[in-house]
Amino acid sequence: MEFEKFDEIRQKLCLQFTEVTEGKMMSSPAIHFNGKVFAFLSKKNKMVFKLGMNSTAPSGVKLVEFNPFKNKGPLTGWYEVDYSHHTSWEELTRLALGLARKNS
């Protein structure tokens, strides 16, 4: 379920943009822009997005800071979203892609 939704989004963006490719992030499936990760599916089957600091989510979606570490703080600007909000995953992926394009 989770991977299928993630992969649907990834395939759509890879076909639409030549700079978008498949890849890995911490051994998890990821989406890259010019070789840099901007979104991936975590080992907990949550989609993770690089949205930058002070990001806002679509209405009703709770952004949770992504923290894969036990003894460190969260990764700055990275947020995870549970599958219960999978209908917003594509919109958030496109926001992350827009930020990646802007910062490249």
User: Is 15's pLDDT higher than 90?
Assistant: yes
Residues in contact with 41: Cβ distance below 8 Å, sequence separation at least 6, in sequence order: 2, 3, 6, 28, 29, 30, 47, 48
Q: How many domains does the chain have?
A: 1
Helix (H, G, I), strand (E, B) or coil at 95: helix
Full-model pTM: 0.94
CB 48 within 8 A of CB 66: yes
**Domain residue limits at 74:** 2-102
Residue type, 37: V
Q: Calculate Rg over the CA atoms of the chain.
A: 13
Confidence of residue 40 (pLDDT cuts 50, 70, 90): very high
